[in-house]
Amino acid sequence: MSEDHEIFTRLDQAQAAALPALEQAGDEAALQAWKTAHLGRSSAVMQAFSQLGQAPKEIRPAIGQRANQVKLALESAFAIRSQAIKEQALQRALQQEKLDVTLPGRPQPRGRMHPESRALETIYTILAEMGFQIFRTPEVETDDYNFSLLNIPAYHPARDMWDTFHTTRPGTLLRTHTSPGQVRAMRQRAPEPIRVALPGMCYRYEQTSARSEIQFNQVELLVVGRNITFGDLKGTLTDLARRIYGDNVRTRLRPSYFPFTEPSGEMDVECFVCGGKGCAVCKNSGWLEILGCGMVHPVVLQNGGYDPSEWSGFAAGMGPERMSMLRYGIEDIRYFWSNDVRFLEQFS
């Protein structure tokens, strides 16, 4: 056996050359290049295996053993080096991508609810406590629902009470008030008793001013039952005013006129600015008007599908923007929809 066969020398040299070269490999690409050169098919070790058949038979086991040793040595050196490089790369990444958690955050500007949404929500909550359901009806209405079915026939002078936006489609308009919802609710609910609130946007063809806008909300109430009296109207609306304006607020009902109620009235609350003594807000009267109301007109009950000899009801309509204006001393109704943040930001 000749241990000094040149193949042993070649294997020793291969190992001696490979290990320092491995220390030079500094990244994943260099590692792979090293692996191809020193453990790949044309490397000295792999050549030793593939040429084993040509070596003298008696030294073949020794060559095989030696080649295996070299291969294992290179493989384990490779594994260690490759682990070390991965570790280095991880450390580098951690270092570079470090988050400074002590940096102060960027402040997010805080949104706020529109004062009108806030006012409506308060009113809905109070009405829900009083047993009213919210019932929504269309903003684009027919002439019939907005006027005729509410006892305001075509050409009747009472139509002048509502300056109207008509659409290009004859008989179709933007509702001028939420009262058309009364007939819609009755037609849907007949012949059951009703207790609903009809909220939503209304439109009027008017010159805008501090007191009037072309669009504004109303919240309408409708109660229909077999024994509904003016006493129910007065009790319910007085209770509503107290829940909105405070337990001790005084209210009064004045006679008025609306085609769809008979009798009709308007409710005032004691001026909460001066306590009834008289001031600029209440124009020295001591009272503030908050809603229109009345007993549902028999014609309207009939149009809704209720027999007026058996059924009766009361209705009311209020303007939440107007109520907020009185409450907060807002001088111009146009502030509500002009979206000036200086106005909106005051209601946080």
3-state DSSP helix/strand/coil % of the chain, to nearest 5: 45, 20, 35
**For residues 238-267, which are near ligand DAH according to CB under 6 A?**
258, 261
CB of 221 to ligand DAH, least distance (A): 7
Q: Which helix (H) or strand (E) holds 223?
A: strand 215-225
Please tell me the distance from the alpha carbon of residue 307 to that of residue 294, in angstroms, as a whole number. 18
Q: Which of 38, 66, 159, 177 binds ligand DAH (CB under 6 A)?
A: 177
The residue among 292 and 320 lying less far from ligand DAH, judged by its C-beta, is 292
CB of 179 to ligand DAH, least distance (A): 4
Q: Which helix (H) or strand (E) holds 134?
A: strand 133-134
The pattern of x and - marking residues 60 through 89 that bind ligand DAH according to CB under 6 A reads ------------------------------
Residues with Cβ within 8 Å of 31's Cβ and at least 6 positions away in sequence, in order, are 25, 78, 81, 82, 85
Q: Is the link from the previous residue into 193 a cis peptide, with omega within 30 of 0?
A: no
Please tell me the distance from the alpha carbon of residue 193 to that of residue 228, in angstroms, as a whole number. 10
The residue among 115 and 317 lying less far from ligand DAH, judged by its C-beta, is 317
The residue among 70 and 259 lying less far from ligand DAH, judged by its C-beta, is 259
Radius of gyration of the chain (CA): 45
- Count of other CB atoms within 10 angstroms of residue 134: 13
Pairing status of strand 312-318 against strand 287-296: antiparallel
CB of 341 to ligand DAH, least distance (A): 30
DSSP 190: T
Interface with ligand DAH, residue 220, by CB under 6 A: yes
CB of 129 to ligand DAH, least distance (A): 20
Q: Is the link from the previous residue into 263 a cis peptide, with omega within 30 of 0?
A: yes
Count of chain residues binding ligand DAH (CB under 6 A)? 11
The residue among 7 and 291 lying less far from ligand DAH, judged by its C-beta, is 291
Residue 82 Cα distances to 74, 91, 95, angstroms: 12, 14, 20
CB of 150 to ligand DAH, least distance (A): 8
CB of 143 to ligand DAH, least distance (A): 15
Give yes or no for a contact between 315 and 222, defined as CB atoms under 8 angstroms apart: yes
The residue among 70 and 316 lying less far from ligand DAH, judged by its C-beta, is 316
**For residues 270-329, which are near ligand DAH according to CB under 6 A?**
292-294, 315-317
CB of 146 to ligand DAH, least distance (A): 10
Residue with nearest beta carbon to ligand DAH: 317
Site residues, ligand DAH (CB under 6 A): 177, 179, 220, 258, 261, 292-294, 315-317
